[in-house]
Structure 1
Amino acid sequence: MERRTFLATAGIGLATAAAGCTSQAASGGSSPTDTDTSDSLSGETDTETETETERMSDLTRIEANDTVERTVGDESLEERGLRNAHHVAFENPTEETHRGTISVLQSDETVFDESVQLEANASVVVSLTDLGTYTARMTIPALDATEAVTVDPSQFTCNVTRTSVSIQDDGTLDSVSLSTRMACTGVVTETAPAGGIASHTLGDDPVAADTGKGIHTLLLRNPSDETWTTRLLVENDAAVAFDGLYTVEPEGTVLLTLSESGTYSLSASVLETETTVTERITAENFDCNRSSTRAVLSSEGELTANTVSTLMGCDVNTNSTNESS
Structure 2
Amino acid sequence: MSDSNTTDFTNPSTFILLGIPGLEAAHVWISIPFCTMYIISILGNFTILFIVKREPSLHEPMYYFLCMLAGSDLVLSTSTLPKMLSIFWFNSREIDFSACLTQLYFVACFLVMDSGILVAMALDRYVAICHPLRHSTTLTSPVVMKIALAVVLRSGMLVLPFPFLARRWPYCRTNIIPHSYCEHMAMVKLACADIHISSNYSISVGFMVTGLDVFFIMVSYIQILRAIFSLPTKDAQLKTFGTCGSHLCVILSIYIPSVFSALMHRFGHNMAVYFHVLMANAYLLVPPMLHPIIYGVRTKQIRDRVLRLFTHKGI
User: How does the TM-score come out when normalised to structure 1?
Assistant: 0.21
Which one has the largest radius of gyration? 1
TM-score (norm 2): 0.21
Higher strand residue share: 1
Higher RCO (CA < 8 A, seq sep 6+)? 2
Bigger helix fraction: 2
